């Protein structure tokens, strides 16, 4: 497991999260599940992008990102003390890989817990209602360990100084 510091990208995450929240706040489908849901999600994408050394797409899209945060990949994120399940809408059509990222907001780090292909996710997930409607939920023990294929050189690709 590779822990990545989110200290330097945290201000960028807040900026992106506020823009995304403001864009979606009047949508019928907009259901914030926690106070910092958007920052946590953006930080997950940033952690993944720092590990693979590829910029995340920060453009605001009216219709969303079609489920893909990166090529063939959807990043799911939770805070470390809340991470129990990978959760997805039961009717979402997605064919690719889910990568589950855990972030620690207090100590400012994140890491990829694991990954799973959407087909395997649907086969193993259970329908659970956590208080906001039934969702597909998979215990994190079903995730596969992930190791980046390239030699790891962690540069802050978002540092423009």
pLDDT at residue 33, as a whole number: 56
Tell me the per-residue pLDDT of 4-61, one tens digit each, with 9 for 90 and over. 999 999 999 999 888 887 776 655 554 555 568 889 999 999 999 999 888 887 776 6
Residue 73 has pLDDT above 90, yes or no: yes
Band of pLDDT at residue 68, cut at 50, 70 and 90: confident
Domain assignment of residue 133, yes or no: yes
Domain assignment of residue 129, yes or no: yes
Domain assignment of residue 58, yes or no: yes
Domain assignment of residue 151, yes or no: no
Which are the contacts of 50, defined by CB distance < 8 A and separation ≥ 6? 4, 9, 154, 155, 156, 157
Domain assignment of residue 85, yes or no: yes
CB contact burial 101-112 (16+ within 10 A = b; e otherwise):
bbbebeeebbbb
Structural domain count, the chain: 1
> Which tokens in the block code for residue 27?
């949508």
Provide the whole-model pTM. 0.85
Give 109's strand partners. Answer: 5, 104
| Domain around 20 | 4-142
Domain assignment of residue 148, yes or no: no
- Strand, helix or coil for residue 10: helix
In this structure, of 36-45, 53-62, 100-109, 151-160, the range with the lowest mean pLDDT score is 151-160
Domain assignment of residue 130, yes or no: yes
């Amino acid at each position: 497991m590779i822990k990545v510091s989110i200290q330097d990208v945290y201000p960028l995450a807040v900026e992106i999260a506020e823009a995304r929240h403001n864009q979606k706040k009047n949508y019928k489908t907009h259901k914030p599940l926690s106070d910092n849901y958007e920052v946590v999600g953006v930080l997950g994408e940033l952690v993944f992008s720092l590990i693979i050394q590829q910029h995340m797409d920060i453009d605001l899209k009216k219709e969303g990102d079609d489920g893909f945060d990166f090529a063939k990949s959807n990043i799911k994120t939770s805070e470390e003390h809340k991470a129990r399940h990978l959760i997805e809408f039961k009717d979402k059509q997605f064919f690719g890989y889910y990568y589950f990222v855990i972030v620690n907001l207090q100590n400012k780090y994140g890491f990829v817990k694991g990954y799973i292909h959407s087909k395997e996710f649907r086969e193993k997930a259970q329908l659970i209602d956590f208080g906001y409607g039934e969702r597909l939920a998979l215990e994190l023990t079903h995730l596969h360990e992930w190791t980046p294929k390239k030699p790891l050189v962690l540069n802050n690709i978002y540092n423009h100084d």
